[in-house]
Amino acid sequence: MRIGELATRTGASVRSLRYYEEQGLLTSIRSAGGQRHYTDDDIERVAFVQRLYGAGLSSRTIVELLPCVDSPSDDHSDAAMERMLQERDRICDHIEELQRTRDALDEVMAAARAYRDTGRANCEATAASVA
């Protein structure tokens, strides 16, 4: 099948499929005219790649996981699991950092509200004394 049909059958854009190929996540057979051709197996491959992207993995990490799919073995499975655990730890660290950032922003917002409220109270007191 051509790239347009693969895009239709997977829901991925043609641009994404070309990117997957550039990154080594997907391969095609080229016709004499240079057109990309894919097999039915590539439908599952694209779905797998999309699930990994959806899980927050980069194309570089996905490439590291592909031997587990392309050449299944205990060693490849163990390596893939270890790599996914590393990514999970990285994501957890990032979540903690985002929570600290959110808490810092909450403090800044509370200070801004207090300042605004104090300024409003001062403004009202000044207006009352002038009247």
Residue 5 has pLDDT above 90, yes or no: yes
Rounded to whole angstroms, the Cα distance separating 26 from 13 reads 14
Between 7 and 127, the higher pLDDT residue: 7
Residue 24 CA to residue 62 CA, distance in Å, equals: 9
Q: Where are the alpha helices (DSSP H) in 11-131?
A: 14-22, 41-54, 59-70, 74-130
Mean pLDDT, to the nearest integer, of 37-50?
96
What pTM value is reported for the model?
0.74
Residue 129 reports pLDDT greater than 80: no
Q: Higher confidence at residue 118 or residue 8?
A: 8
- Does 105 score more than 70 pLDDT? yes
Return the pLDDT at 43: 97
- Cα 50 to Cα 62: distance, rounded to the nearest angstrom: 10
